[in-house]
Structure 1
């Protein structure tokens, strides 16, 4: 209950899901690189951002505001969970099933940059909560 009271109206639950997705993506990339030479291996991908965008768009349609200055937290978005799946040429485009080392390394670098940015955002949100509790600011 206290956790929901403190964090339920912040972006922390959503940022946590984003960090989970990026962590899972790092695992998928490591798995892809480790199995690159295995015959018949299909690349692993992580689904998160697309699903999250769909939920956010749906939530925007469902929002009912009681006051024009109130912004409601996106609670459904915080429930979106990342998952790993195999690449499929029909869904993801031609060549998506094949592991290409350069693509994996580029994806790993991009994932690392996003992870560091989300950690900074999460830290900032905790600092704001700490300031509110202490009455500073």
Structure 2
């Protein structure tokens, strides 16, 4: 029925937003994962909470370890920096579905724009 479908779409959208915020470091396909976890919670809430706890822990450990950090991003960068320019372009690649993460987007932007890459590496190293 239409009301149930609209409710599911709204709940799925909320779940995706929460997933993106909660599991920002993990390379999850939030649009697929979040609705699935929401449906698992409807069937077995304890199981869903266990899965979520494991992923929260993994996300935190990954973020703390910095394993997915791009080379050179540890150096502080200023507001109107080449990094910010690359990040802005990368965000548009994520939004259009070309890449899944900002980091992948930055890599793709730098690969396709040698001049920007040269300025980026000079700024971050």
Do they superpose with TM above 0.5? no
Q: Which has the higher contact order (CA 8 A, sep 6+)?
A: 1
Tell me the TM-score normalized by structure 1: 0.28
Which structure features the higher share of helix residues? 2
TM-score (norm 2): 0.30
More strand as a share of residues:
1
